[in-house]
Structure 1
Amino acid sequence: MNNNNLFCRHLEETLWEIHANNSITSIPVYISLPKYYNELNEKQIISQALQMKNINKEIMDIIRENISFVFILDGFDEIFDKYDKNNNNNNERYFYNRFNLNEWNAKIIVTCRSYVLNDEDIKNALLGSKNITSMIYLWPFSKDQINGYIDKFVKMNKKNKINDNQDWTIQQYKETLNNFPNLNKMMEEPFLLRMILTVLPSLMKQHPIGTKISKSQVYEAFNQQWIDIHVKNISNKLSELRIQTNIKKIKFAFQQYCQNLGFEICN
């Protein structure tokens, strides 16, 4: 989950709260473009997403005619390569037209990491020829926001067991982070902040105080922790079924999967 994902989920939740208080009538709907985009059927992306949210085809027309929405289309940058290569739309590039969004009574929010698309792509695919789409940039976390996030993370960790250190206090996290000052810049990004907090106890064991920990080392630690957790869960479930397991083989399979996935994303 990147910064856009976090922002979009928070936005959807906030809009739902406002909707529940009857302050707005539009219904917010979060749609992950990487999950729902199909280059063979672009025009139906909204209908397909709503069907996946258990809205029947039979009432789709009624909904389209009688309900207003706020569609939050997340992750345009992640589908852009497929989107850009799709030539089934008579050279139309503007996402609003390609996705047939004029069929819906809706306001549209689409997220995209700005550095993935060049200026020309942004202009043609996201802004359109009439240039009526507004652009907003997400600012990095402030110090107060970072502290607030740490507070929430500690509470979430106690409840959901994000890592094995549920006994760590807010103060412990803050003091440990102070011992690795080069992480400060990374922590301005919500996605990286969550990742750093998740693996901070293990990073502390691996690196002496004051070590300059790189972003790749954070990713590596997070990946390793993710693998260890899932291998442990699978091993426990198989043991309950009295099935013999080879933890090393399971771990290797996970590592291979992550490596292949990384190559696939990069290529």
Structure 2
Amino acid sequence: MAAMRALYDAFNLMYALSLILFFSDLIQPRRFVNRTALVLLFVAFGLESGLLLMRLRALGYVAVYTRMDVLFLVSWLLMLITLVLDTFFRIGLALFFVNVLGYALVAFDTFGRQGKFLFPKHQLDLLVLHVSLAVISYVCFAFAFVYSFMYLIQDRVLRAKRWNQLYFRLPALERLDTFAFRSVALGVPVLLVAMVLGVIWGKLVLNRWILMDPKPLATLIVWLMYAVYLGFRIRSGWGGRQLAWYNMFCALAVLLNFAVVNDYSNFHHAF
């Protein structure tokens, strides 16, 4: 059981990292990031295959007699098919989107087993994972805030034509804008996964959908605000200064969500 648990944790980590890197490559294509994501996906596939073999050996039969076992097998087949197709035909974005679905199935499968497979205390595991991912996303948004703040300072120095020590110590505007963008591009998918896991936790543990609670609603608004930032950064003609101000406004929304909205939530006020 301990070996299976460790293998499953490694599989989830590799799978999640792969999808995050694929998302980053989607926002800003880079061959190294794409190749790294693909390697991690192959590693995740190998780990999941090992889990299925261990499960088969332990039970003596292929586990397909419960809904959760079927979901796990479906996710494995989705990964297998997309990897084979991408090896021969380079299916591009389909590889990412299909495996996002596969990972969602894995997450629901993991925490819906009621302790019969890997997680005898699945409620705690899921809650810790949900909170951990939310914290990681907030760290990413904090970096984005700092980079945007530095951008505004450097922009002000340049417009005032003050070639002082501050100007030389701050990175170039383009680099600051890129760093802020990459921080948000990482934080957005991580926060999305955290929200999905939070909803799953509410259904499995509280036996109700928690979408109408103030906290999930506010978090969804924050996520949409950052998604709008990514949209403007990629598609529109907004300049760096406007985006920097908007990024700081989004950071204020994160702060209000964390410090104020929690008090009005039915189950987040303890955190």
> What TM-score results when the alignment is normalised by the length of structure 1?
0.25
> What TM-score results when the alignment is normalised by the length of structure 2?
0.25
Higher helix content, 1 or 2: 2
Q: Larger RCO: Structure 1 or Structure 2 (Cα < 8 Å, ≥ 6 residues apart)? A: 2
